[in-house]
Structure 1
Amino acid sequence: MMKEFPEQFDALVEKYTELLVGDSDSDKKEMVTQYALYSFIAKNMPALVKHWNSLYPDGKDEMKRIVGQIKEMNEAHRAEMNEKKKEE
């Protein structure tokens, strides 16, 4: 594996986080990484996620909280970007 890959991949996650929620601090990057991976697994292996949700109901609740928080941050970020466009 390329030794630069971890930094390059981190830059991708950082930019995705910034575009999605408007900021890319380490906590938000971690949330977005968990959200993206969970969403990917849910789409590709829904039975696995259903099984995990039943094994770890507290984990499922935390994932719901994370998804809700990301949704709120995304909506606020989009509203802010739309306001900036109107001002231009």
Structure 2
Amino acid sequence: MDFLLLAPDRSRIVIEVDGVQHYGRENPPDEKGRVTYTASPQLYSEMVAEDRRLRLAGYEIYRFGGWELTRPQGEQTLTDFFTELLKRHKKPTA
């Protein structure tokens, strides 16, 4: 869990930022020293199993791929997301 938010409506929100280590295993460096990754069905399965466990425990989970946040639109992506999230989880009036 990268971030846990406790919303005004008492919702528990988990934010995950997934880098390649969430779904791939590191390969040895190539002849130029570059490191690559190979997709790992086991790592992916462990990640989604944890998502299910948290959801059943009452958490909302939102995942971001690290790549999408490093793009030029990354800041806007976060701004739009949190704007919508806060609209959804306003403090109850009653």
TM-score for both structures, normalised by structure 2? 0.30
TM-score by length of 1: 0.31
Structure with the higher helix share, 1 or 2 = 1
Asked which structure has the greater CA Rg, the reply is 2
**The structure with more strand, counted as a fraction of residues:** 2
